[in-house]
Amino acid sequence: MKTPFSEGNVGLERLVFFSDAVMAIAITLLAIDLRLPLAQNPTAGQLPGLLLRLFPQFLASTISFFVIGSFWSVHHRLFLYIKRYDNMLTRINLVFLFLVVMMPFATSVLAGFGGTLIGVAIYAGVVAAIAFVHTLMWRYATQEHRLVDSDLPEGLVRAEYRVSLLAAGIFLASIPVALLSPYLAQFSWILWRLILSVITWRRKARAKG
Amino acid sequence: MKTPFSEGNVGLERLVFFSDAVMAIAITLLAIDLRLPLAQNPTAGQLPGLLLRLFPQFLASTISFFVIGSFWSVHHRLFLYIKRYDNMLTRINLVFLFLVVMMPFATSVLAGFGGTLIGVAIYAGVVAAIAFVHTLMWRYATQEHRLVDSDLPEGLVRAEYRVSLLAAGIFLASIPVALLSPYLAQFSWILWRLILSVITWRRKARAKG
Amino acid sequence: MKTPFSEGNVGLERLVFFSDAVMAIAITLLAIDLRLPLAQNPTAGQLPGLLLRLFPQFLASTISFFVIGSFWSVHHRLFLYIKRYDNMLTRINLVFLFLVVMMPFATSVLAGFGGTLIGVAIYAGVVAAIAFVHTLMWRYATQEHRLVDSDLPEGLVRAEYRVSLLAAGIFLASIPVALLSPYLAQFSWILWRLILSVITWRRKARAKG
Amino acid sequence: MKTPFSEGNVGLERLVFFSDAVMAIAITLLAIDLRLPLAQNPTAGQLPGLLLRLFPQFLASTISFFVIGSFWSVHHRLFLYIKRYDNMLTRINLVFLFLVVMMPFATSVLAGFGGTLIGVAIYAGVVAAIAFVHTLMWRYATQEHRLVDSDLPEGLVRAEYRVSLLAAGIFLASIPVALLSPYLAQFSWILWRLILSVITWRRKARAKG
């Protein structure tokens, strides 16, 4: 009898599928608070006020959409290299998904308390934790080529590793920044995202060249 | 080692799957506001009033269901032709999904403020933006046959391109119409949908004949 | 160039997948109202009262779960036979999904107004409409073996056709029953479900024997 | 004509997919109550109070996340062995999913009434029921190798069987424990989870050795 954990098995596909579904739901639920209450006698004059009140929620949801989107993107890329799985990978992935599912909560904290140190710290902490568990998952999979092809270049392994750790570091580092200004901390996330894009870009270019 | 972005790879399938899941969730969440509150001592007499109050929400959800359904349908068709993907396509697709996720919000605006210029303008703006990003995605994929088969007929490329742009145009054009009457603007969407169906129909018929 | 609508294409799979996702979300959203409010100083004594108040919602959700589950089951079976698809099938399927997405709404009507004629009529109407569109989809697919294998036995086609129409009939017929008693109408659904199971069972047995 | 229930058919895949989607949605919906209300004039001082009020919900959601996650994991493992399906398996699976969909409800009961016997008993009852139906599904599939490979080792069948029954037993046994202390009962779940992990671990090790 063939062991179910071997390469090409339907099991890995289902693990990836389940992860995709959870991330897709979490990313879509971000918008669930972004709805206007049903007004009784709506007039055009009320709308700007209602929209303005939703603005912090809108901003936080937008940031979270691209945070989860980025994690999906990296998860996607890593699982192109991961060819086998075992119970431990399933468990680490479950913890990863648990933290992703916490994102709508963290988003509501950011929306309501984005102007306070503790609000920004909670959000940054959750995102850093996701990035950290992601790094762990990659480390577990690639250590002694445990779950990846034996010819996966060491440079690629390390590059992914560094980018994941960097993401964790950026969000952790933003917590002391929030001591100065919570809004500066949020701005630093966007700034670093751009820098990270450039790094990835250069890594890709180097890989091609 | 095989590059993960080549044709037939599991990666493209996962990108499509994630997009499908997000669109499926967004389309289903439209109905989440369409629920009656739990009544204490319900009598048959209360029901018509409660249903009537839900009517604008019902109408807006119905329009949005078929708007998202149409976008799913076109996304589906385009990805039958797209054979490869890269980081940029993933990113454009993520922006596309972000706007789709905004649809429940836009729907609640239409439900509450469909009788006002600003309400119709916000809704039309979101839909036009989705159509525009979709056009962009198709342009990116087909430019110099970047991500499609090299023998994909130029006529088909341009036809899809025109239909997408037209959808964006219809919703943008409805904004000045809403100056006259917000309800006329909403009616124009349905009217144009029918016209668009005829155009697609004729294009299909020509392709077959 | 291969036409995208031919047999074995990824397109049909994606259509089925999207349908599955929408049905899975709709079936899970049924339970979203089945949550206790966060109590301030909860005592064991409060719980029975809170549960009792949720009972109509629980009953309605349970019925709807198995209604959607049955439709999923039949949709599943039919698409084992459907081998090709075209724009019209996609459209009929979209209308089918639209009605499925209306089920949480219909469920809230049944939960709140299950003791009234109009409440039962709305619920029965939505379910009958789903069954009717499903029948239509099957008819479209099998007419002159349009989208099914040419050797699909006529008996099987007609059997599925009859079961689908029967389901529509049962729910429509329950509306006049609700004139006598709304609860009798609801009971008739469960009764007929059992009878339908027996019919399917006998059909299966005959097919095997 | 090929029968749709034979091995390797798309039908089984779709059954598994639908189950995955329902479990993914149920697990993600757990976090839907874990959101802060939109504050009007939020101050950092309010946040700890709001978070504290969410704590029982957070704890209950966390337990439920890993309960559903474990069930997904076992469902996943079992369906690696299940190679065929029939109507009865589809039905048992639907009952299994129905109980999974009840988990957000059971979680809200635990969050609100985790300190009461009845609250713990309801939660434990739902989880035990899921485990029991899961055992039933496995028994149905493996009896006389009905839906599994004929060379599936009897030892593996029985091991899975025992683990499933054990899970049901643990949650049932915690109900009398809740007579002493509801919190002790909840603690027993976590304790047993660890013991169960060790059992699984030893079984795996033995299978390898």
Q: Which chains touch B (3 or more CB pairs under 8 A)?
A: A, C
Q: Give the tens place of pLDDT for each residue, D35-51.
A: 887 666 677 788 888 88
Q: Residue A202 is which amino acid?
A: R
Cβ-nearest to A20 among B1, B14, B116 = B14
Mean pLDDT of A71-91: 91
Q: Would the CB atoms of D73 and A53 count as touching at under 8 Å?
A: no
For residues A122 and B201, the model is more confident at A122
Q: Give the tens place of pLDDT for each residue, A67-77.
A: 999 999 989 98
Nearest to C82 by CA among C183, C156, C177: C156
Nearest to C28 by CA among B103, D19, A68, D70: D19
Q: Which pLDDT score is estimated for C16?
A: 92
Q: Would the CB atoms of A66 and B94 count as touching at under 8 Å?
A: yes
Q: Give the tens place of pLDDT for each residue, B53-73.
A: 888 889 999 999 999 999 999
CB pairs under 8 A between B and C: 106
Q: Would the CB atoms of C80 and D112 count as touching at under 8 Å?
A: no
Q: Would the CB atoms of B44 and C118 count as touching at under 8 Å?
A: yes
User: DSSP of chain D, one letter per residue?
Assistant: ---TTSTT-HHHHHHHHHHHHHHHHHHHHGGGG------SS--TTHHHHHHHHHHHHHHHHHHHHHHHHHHHHHHHHHHHHB----HHHHHHHHHHHHHHHTHHHHHHHHHHHTTSHHHHHHHHHHHHHHHHHHHHHHHHHHGGGSSB-TT--HHHHHHHHHHHHHHHHHHHHHHHHHHH-HHHHHHHHHHHHHHHHHHHHHHHHHHH-
Cβ-nearest to B16 among C14, C32, C119 = C14
Cβ-nearest to C29 among B21, B32, B38 = B32
Would the ipTM clear 0.90, i.e. be above it?
Answer: no
Q: Give the tens place of pLDDT for each residue, A139-180.
A: 999 998 899 988 899 888 998 888 889 889 999 999 999 999
Q: Would the CB atoms of C104 and B35 count as touching at under 8 Å?
A: yes
Q: Would the CB atoms of D36 and A102 count as touching at under 8 Å?
A: no
Min Cα separation C163/chain B (Å): 27
Best of D3, D10, D91, D101 to disrupt the C interface (most C CBs within 10 Å) is: D101
Min Cα separation D96/chain C (Å): 12
- Lowest-pLDDT range, A29-43, A135-149, C10-24? A29-43
Please state the φ and ψ torsions of residue C148, each to the nearest 5 degrees. -120, 170
Min Cα separation D180/chain A (Å): 31
Residue the block writes with tokens 């047995």: C205
pLDDT confidence of B44, banded at 50, 70, 90? confident
Contacts with A25 from chain D: Cβ below 8 Å: 24-25, 28-29
Best of A80, A85, A151 to disrupt the B interface (most B CBs within 10 Å) is: A80
C81 C-beta neighbours (distance < 10 Å), count = 18
Angle at which helix A117-142 crosses helix D46-81, to 10 degrees, equals: 20
Q: Give the tens place of pLDDT for each residue, A107-141.
A: 999 998 988 999 999 999 999 999 999 999 999 99
Min Cα separation A5/chain D (Å): 9
Under DSSP, is residue C148 helix (H, G, I), strand (E, B) or coil?
strand
Q: Which pLDDT score is estimated for A9?
A: 58
Q: Give the tens place of pLDDT for each residue, B81-132.
A: 999 998 899 999 999 999 999 999 999 999 989 889 999 999 999 999 999 9
Interface of C with B (CB under 8 A): 1, 4, 9-11, 14-15, 17-18, 21-22, 25-26, 29, 32-33, 53, 56-57, 87, 90, 94, 97-98, 101-102, 104-105, 107-109, 111-113, 115-119
Q: Which chains touch C (3 or more CB pairs under 8 A)?
A: B, D
**Chain A CA closest to residue B29:** A32
Q: Would the CB atoms of C11 and B48 count as touching at under 8 Å?
A: no
Q: Would the CB atoms of D24 and A18 count as touching at under 8 Å?
A: yes
Contacts with A72 from chain B: Cβ below 8 Å: 18
Q: Which pLDDT score is estimated for D1?
A: 34
Q: Which chains touch A (3 or more CB pairs under 8 A)?
A: B, D
Tokens for C28? 């899970």
